[in-house]
Amino acid sequence: MNNTPMKAHILALLHFTRQQELHLIANLSDPERNATGTPNTGITKGMWAAKDFVANMLHWKELQTQKLATVQRGEVPPDWTDMKVVHQINVETFTRYRTSAFQAIEEEAEHVFNAFITQVERMSEEELNDPRYYAWLEGTRLRNEVLNYGFWYPCNQLTICAFQLGKKQLAFQLQEALVEAVRQSALPDEGVGVAIYNMVCFYATNGKPEKALQHLPEALRLRPTLFEVSKRDSDLESLRTNPTFQAILTDPALLARVPLNVLVKPHDLHTSLRGEVPPLVIDVRGSAEYAVGHVEGAVNIPLGNLESQLSQIPHERPVVTYCNMHHQGASRGELAATKLREHGYRVSTLDGGYPNWKAQGFLIEAAPQE
């Protein structure tokens, strides 16, 4: 376990996000405050107004506050890994606040943030940082949940909102400030790499290729698994023919940090499962996700339990890890593969994860009901 004290850094990142939110609100005109947005239906993409973004962020903080309180009572909290559930919550939140005045939403956002901070302050270092503290987390850290809904997600929403309102400079400043905040925190290098890579993508998609290329090497150095992602990331499409981009992708120093055979296509995995030495397929998602559906023959070893169960993984077989791949380059499947390589395993990760395997029509299984 990483014993670095994290609580103060987590709280600092949460306060940073709130300050960025207040800064955006202070830069809104009266028409922007009073505007009414249109919802995302799942079929058509809507156009949220500023108040819809603020309402959405406050509601997710409220849900996270309730979740942390549930955890401290010793109960198992709700799971939000199903994107259909997330979409439904977003739709319900939009509808709930659609007719609310901006000032009312703003006041509620302040109240919810204070309650969120108070709840996090009640948590101990061990609760936030020890991957074994709560069994239901299956080896992941509670701090990840806190930062997802109190830092990463709202910062992304604020960036989208600012850019959508035509406040491009504000959006760029937010991304740059976010990276600096992460640098100053005690988050692992991999987290810093993801923050920088996200900023690179934002630069590349918004007319600042020189800035994107300036920071891309550092992102790849800190998070080597993003190297393969960068080759096909549509956000970097504008950089493809740039000689500097091509030089980065052939830089020997960066290539030396990239694990070999990072990704395996679903078709190739399907074929190899019927070969003479089929790989051991490890689903590193949580047990609830595994139970709903998984790759045929896959065993379930949640990411946080991986190192304690290495004795169950034979070295003589190749290994394929996978998850839902919601965060390419920082996914559980890729993190598991990196850990296994450190222990001498021949391992790759299923490209696109379980959703890609299922979408291509290959055989899936569900865990038997108890």
Neighbouring C-beta atoms of residue 251, cutoff 10 Å: 15
Structure tokens at 219: 């992102």
Q: Hey, which residues does 263 pair with through a beta bridge? A: 349
Q: Please, which residues have CB within 8 angstroms of residue 110's CB and are 6 or more apart in sequence?
A: none
Domains of the chain, residue spans: 7-187, 263-365
Provide DSSP, 245-313. Answer: HHHHHT-HHHHTTSPSS-EE-HHHHHHHTTSSSPPEEEE-S-HHHHHH-EETT-EE--GGGTGGGGGGS
pTM: 0.78
- Which contacts of 141-145 are long-range, i.e. CB under 8 A and separated by 24 or more positions? 141/304, 142/68, 142/71, 143/6, 143/10, 145/64, 145/67
- Edge to edge, the sheet with strand 347-350 lists 263-264, 347-350, 319-322, 280-283, 299-300
**CA–CA dist 353, 331 (Å, integer):** 9
- The pLDDT value given to residue 97: 96
Element spanning 359, H or E: helix 353-359
- The pLDDT value given to residue 107: 98
Q: Please, which residues have CB within 8 angstroms of residue 280's CB and are 6 or more apart in sequence?
A: 299, 313, 314, 317, 318, 319, 320
Sign, CA torsion 152/156/159/161: negative
Q: For the chain, what percentages of helix, strand and coil (3-state, to nearest 5) are there?
A: 60, 5, 35
| CB distance 327 to 223 below 8 Å | no
Pairing of strands 347-350, 299-300: unpaired
CATH of 263-365, one of 3.20.20.70, 3.30.2010.10, 3.40.920.10, 3.40.250.10: 3.40.250.10
**CA–CA dist 123, 72 (Å, integer):** 8
**CA–CA dist 182, 368 (Å, integer):** 42
| DSSP code at position 166 | T
- Domain 7-187, what architecture? Up-down Bundle (1.20)
Among candidate residues 204, 196, 205, the one with its CA nearest the CA of residue 226: 196
- The pLDDT value given to residue 293: 92
**CA–CA dist 14, 115 (Å, integer):** 12
Listed as ranges, residues in the chain with pLDDT below 50 are: 1-2, 370
Q: N- to C-terminal Cα distance for the chain?
A: 33
**CA–CA dist 354, 357 (Å, integer):** 5
